[in-house]
Amino acid sequence: MGFSRQEYWNLRKQARQLENELDLKLVSFSKLCTSYSHSSARDGRRDRYSSDTTPLLNGSSQDRMFETMAIEIEQLLARLTGVNDKMAEYTNSAGVPSLNAALMHTLQRHRDILQDYTHEFHKTKANFVAIRERENLMGSVRKDIESYKSGSGVNNRRTELFLKEHDHLRNSDRLIEETISIAMATKENMTSQRGMLKSIQSKMNTLANRFPAVNSLIQRINLRKRRDSLILGGVIGVCTILLLLYAFH
């Protein structure tokens, strides 16, 4: 199946639009994971003094948002993969060697962006699932403790030690969550900077592809400067030799 040049440029336009949408979606997805971590830590501390009805509702709402955003990102990744595959078909059928090299460079750049977004999505998703599973486990432990306390009605030494150990685990878990939050904030900053650099690089490549004569003219100017430098150096050398011969004659 062949593609016209206009169809190829339309595919490139679609790829850039999908990449921009994915960039925004992944930033929101990362913020959702961070907010879930913070709310889980607050809810865990509040559960010791109040009922757990509100945290469960909040967690359920965030779980639904997580599932919805994950599906949307997976669909965008699938669409971008399809666009890249169609661009690869056009690149393989272009026929002109010099044109093929430029198209392959552009295609590889789009593939690298797709790979980065896919890796970032799976990493953020895995972090979210790990935090949710840890919170479910800690919630189960809290319920077991409360059930044991209400059933026995006696705060014996073993229960006190168990509660102290539980508090120690919660404090350690909170420190880990704060560290994860700092790391994710740093990642968001780096993602924003990467987007700016990607935009600059895309504009430079577009200018280079649209005006190949500029690159050729710059190369010819550089060659002429080198030739002039060699001629000037040769003339200076010959004059120097003649002056020395004349001086010692």
In a domain, 116, yes or no: yes
Asked whether the beta carbons of 42 and 110 are under 8 A apart, the reply is no
| Alpha carbon distance 241, 1 (integer Å) | 69
Residue 204 lies in a domain: no
- Count how many domains the chain has: 1
Show the domain range for 189: 5-39+58-150+165-197+222-248
Residue 52 lies in a domain: no
Residue 66 lies in a domain: yes
Separation between Cα atoms, residue 41 and residue 176, nearest integer Å:
11
Q: What is the pLDDT of residue 40?
A: 57
CA distance linking residue 29 with residue 119, whole number of Å: 13
The mean-pLDDT minimum among 4-13, 45-54, 63-72, 167-176 falls in: 45-54
Look at residue 111 and tell me if it is in a domain: yes
Q: Is residue 157 one of the residues assigned to a domain?
A: no
Q: Is residue 49 part of a domain?
A: no
- Name the more confident of 23 and 196: 23
Position 122, amino acid: H
Residues above pLDDT 90, as percent of the chain: 15
Angle between helices 212-248 and 157-210 (to 10 degrees): 70
For residue range 29-82, list pLDDT tens digits in order. Answer: 888 887 776 565 555 544 444 444 444 335 577 788 888 999 999 999 999 999
Look at residue 119 in the predicted model and tell me its pLDDT.
92
Mean pLDDT of 16-29: 91
The model's confidence at residue 115, banded by pLDDT at 50, 70 and 90, is very high
Among the residue ranges 123-132, 182-191, 196-205, the one predicted with the least confidence is 196-205
In a domain, 64, yes or no: yes
pTM: 0.52
Size of the chain in residues? 249
